[in-house]
Amino acid sequence: MKYLQLFFFIAVALAQCSSLYESSRIGRCVNTTSGEVAGHPSAKNPSVSEYLGIPFVQPPIGNLRFAPPQPYTGTGFINGTNFGYTCPKLFTDALSLIPVNFPNTHGNYTPSGISILSTFAQAGDEARNNEDCLTLNIWAKPQVGESKKAVMIWIYGGAFRDGSTSVPIYDGSTLVAEEDVIMVSINYRVNIFGFSGDATGPTSNYGMLDQRLAIEWVYDNIANFGGDPTRITLFGQSGGSCAIDYYSYAYPQNPIASSMIMQSGTIPSLSTLTASQAFEAWRNTSTTLGCGDSSYDPNAVMQCMRNPNLTTASILKIAHLYTWLPSIDNILVFPDYPARSAAGNVTTIPLLIGNTDNEAEVFASQTLMSGKPNQNWSLLTNQTFACPAAARANISASLGAKTWRYRYFGNFPNLQIQIGVDAGAFHIADVYSIFASWPTGPGIPAATPEEIELGRYMRGAWATFAKDSQKGLLTYQGLDCAVENDDEVILHCGWPNYIPGMKTLARLGYENQIVTNLDWSAVYDGTC
């Protein structure tokens, strides 16, 4: 009976696909190297086709646990109705620091703040953790607009500890509905599963290899969804932005992507481990799990760590004691980024880069739950986010790459975290605008008209850059601006290329304005 039901399902699916090949049909079936995938109308934006949970490599399980991802070719039917599994998350303080776990702190947070801190921890889908997690999602609207649309690949953050494409804030349907682009979001392995530190091969930065193979899959398949493989923009925030920065040095000659958007994250924003530091974490974890001995044969240890009786949960239980980050392998991660920059060993595709004005507030808000002492939060904002963004923008501009730089200032009632404390534009605040995924629920104010318009403005800017990364922003919502002899803040004009020392820093949402507002970068870089 079970086989009969399976046969019936496949027959229905194939029949469904046979009637859904019309290019104008929402959710039409699409042939890919992974198989034939059927989509559906997005619940949030029904005019957008949504394809969820498409595998892009072989499942990283069994002998592929703690191994480079392997290409996958499928011929079966893929029901793109649901997101794939979430890559296993590390049980760290950051993941547990959500108000629901600390009811005694609720009086300090607004209803918005409770939602924001839960989103920041990417909490809520832990039950869906599974090592077979390497899938991607596509939002497309082929029935209108360009026949070959610019493509935007989202790389989530999470400090390489956790993250998932299924977090509701990353829903790409509004961006696609409004801006005539295709959006793709990709899962990649994190923590010990993505950055194990083992010594069995030339690299243990498997999560970075996951990202590369996902980008290759998009390049090979996106034309069938109505996308243009020659116009692929990588964009990400926090750890996702750091990943893009690493990627730009790992593939200087063959990035596949035609442009990059980096939001609140560069290589210096998170530590890079040495090979010995990474191996020490691996060795301690594997030994505690009973996979090491005095001889410590790396291959024998790996065989033990891949034993199916060693569960995901048991590995994470020990792994949370250690730090898992990209480690130096001289293939994907390097020890000498300043020298590589000076030598031009980094891709020079166009770059849009920036940070929020008050990055640290979301971290400061967590101290109420962690019990850790307060610190100089403005120093954290500058040293971890603003100054590294300035340095990376300067590198790009000095190498002749088309470069734009922004600082986000949007500050709205529905994004206040602590009662009586002005949150300002904190880490991830800009993500809400990019995806129009603001907090909702009892006691949470609705997005203001200015906030909604600022979101539209930013989505338009990001998409304009993706469509024409060479010069699209120069005239975005205005005329090309001359900045050489201008002593005043420029309003109602396009974004000029970023030139260090010139008034070319775009202040987004400054005083909640919905215009291009330029200032001298030195105003904000004085402490760098």
Hey, which residues are catalytic here?
238
Q: Which one, of 43, 14, 53, lies nearest residue 134 by Cα?
A: 53
What the block records as the tokens of 42 is 């997005």
Asked if residue 414 lies in contact with residue 362, where contact means CB atoms within 8 angstroms, the answer is no
Cα distance between residue 116 and residue 428, in whole Å: 9
> Mapping DSSP to helix (H, G, I), strand (E, B) and coil, where does residue 136 land?
strand
Contact yes or no for 433/457 (Cβ under 8 A): no
- Token code pair at residue 154: 């989202």
Element (H, E) at 287: helix 275-288
Closest by CA position to 44, among listed 119, 139, 163: 139
Give the separation between CA 321 and CA 91, rounded to whole angstroms: 9
How far apart CA 412 and CA 356 sit, in angstroms, is 14
Q: What CA–CA distance (Å, rounded) separates 165 from 435?
A: 13
Edge to edge, the sheet with strand 77-79 lists 30-32, 35-38, 77-79
**Other C-beta atoms within 10 Å of 188: how many?**
27
Q: For residue 51, which amino acid is it?
A: Y
Specify the 3-state DSSP secondary structure of 26.
coil
Q: Rounded to a whole number, what is the distance in angstroms from the first to the last CA of the chain?
A: 68
486-515 core/surface letters (b: 16 or more CB in 10 A; e: else): eeeebeebbbbbbbbebbbbbbbbbeebbb
